[in-house]
Structure 1
Amino acid sequence: MKKLFKKRQKASKSFKRLCKMGLYINLIFLCIFLGSVAYLGFPAFKQTYIFVEANRNSPAYDLLSRAEQRKIRTGQITEKTWLLANSEVDQYMKQKYNRLSEKQRTLVDDLVQKGEIELKFNSNFFLNGDSKSP
């Protein structure tokens, strides 16, 4: 009887050890996964804004998002203010792949030097719905 009891205890301890190891391995993978999500998702918390005159003839007009261009065309925005940049400018500012022309890159670089373009907290990420035409 003692032999069976010791054998069962040994098997139980071994099983507990394996369960703990499995749990620790899963926790390590969970930490790696959440870390990679946070690392890759962090740039979404910043959005590029341009301080520009609300004028269709402005050289930076083409760098604005379609929604901001629409607001300027309809007269909703009339003074110089911070406006949301388009996605290509945003990716350029975050030093990612972009399709900006050389002329547009030069314009963005000039605006950066003047302090008229910058990355700000992306409040739209939390306050607005996911829509191409809000």
Structure 2
Amino acid sequence: MTTAPRARAPRRRTGAILIAAAAVLLSACAPAWEGYATITGYAMCDDDLHTMTVTYESGPNIDSAKLTASETPSVVTVVVALQGSGAVPAIAQPATATIDLDQPLYDRSIITFASQPVPAGRLLTPTHPTG
């Protein structure tokens, strides 16, 4: 019977490497950043007062953009949530998204989540369209 200590360093090192590799792989699944786009305008479809197209500031490194609307009898609040990877875009490029409202717009106001009014009829030609 030997009294020599067992070598555990290779096992610990292998475990540490596996944990580090799993952390790197899992971090690649999550978005690097999330934020809200600046909304620059909206327009309604001429023949359908339920369908609204919103122009917002987009840019490179944006992986997804999601337009949502919250409606009351007097106000429609629009939000474009962005997710991206890499650097947050420093240069804004116009993009558009379309949403169907529950009720026709009629004379309701359109505002952002920061309660800022959204100008009507300012649809810019998108260079980075999303849906």
Q: TM-score, structure 2 length as denominator?
A: 0.39
Larger Rg: 1
Structure with bigger strand share is 2
Q: TM-score, structure 1 length as denominator?
A: 0.38
